[in-house]
């Protein structure tokens, strides 16, 4: 008896699953405004945080505002402490950075405004 085999090639690209807030029972909702000390809001600043071993980031809009959410490492109501950093660099004015450590309430919006200083 002769067995016949055929090879099948598949070139399908798998799209990553996009998680939604509704996929999680406990989330951290972070929002705020980034400014430069002695000046005003900063568009294009990078805001980042490492939450539960995963990096999250956002870019500020034209009014210096940002927002992002992350699944809470703590799986219950209460609070969770995080550090949020902001950075901005422009050859014309230099590099700026700032950071804040805050306690967030799980499942509630937490506003974290960051003022950056020249490095």
Question: Does the pLDDT at position 76 exceed 70?
Answer: yes
Kindly report the length of the chain: 119
Q: Facing residues of 57 across strands?
A: 48
* CATH number corresponding to 23-118: 2.60.40.1120
Using the Cα atoms of residue 30, residue 36, residue 39 and residue 45 in order, give the sign of their dihedral: negative
Every domain of the chain and the residues it spans: 23-118
Q: What is the mean pLDDT of residues 98-118?
A: 94
Determine the pLDDT at residue 113.
96
Average pLDDT of span 94-98 = 95
pTM of the model: 0.79
The per-residue pLDDT for range 20-70, each reduced to its tens digit, is 777 788 899 999 999 999 999 999 999 999 998 889 999 999 999 999 999
Q: Could you give the CA distance from residue 17 to residue 24 in angstroms, rounded to a whole number? A: 14
The mean pLDDT of the chain is 85
């Amino acid at each position: 008896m002769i067995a016949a085999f055929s090879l099948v090639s598949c070139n399908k690209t798998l799209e990553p699953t996009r998680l939604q807030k509704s996929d999680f029972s406990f989330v951290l909702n972070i929002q705020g405004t980034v400014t430069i000390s002695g000046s005003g809001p900063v568009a294009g600043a990078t805001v980042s945080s490492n939450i539960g071993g995963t990096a999250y980031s956002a870019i500020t809009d034209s009014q210096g505002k940002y927002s992002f959410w992350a699944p809470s490492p703590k799986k219950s109501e209460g609070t969770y402490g995080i550090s949020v950093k902001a950075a901005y660099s422009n050859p014309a004015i230099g590099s700026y950075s700032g950071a804040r450590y805050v306690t967030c309430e799980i499942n509630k919006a937490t506003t974290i405004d960051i003022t950056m200083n020249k490095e």
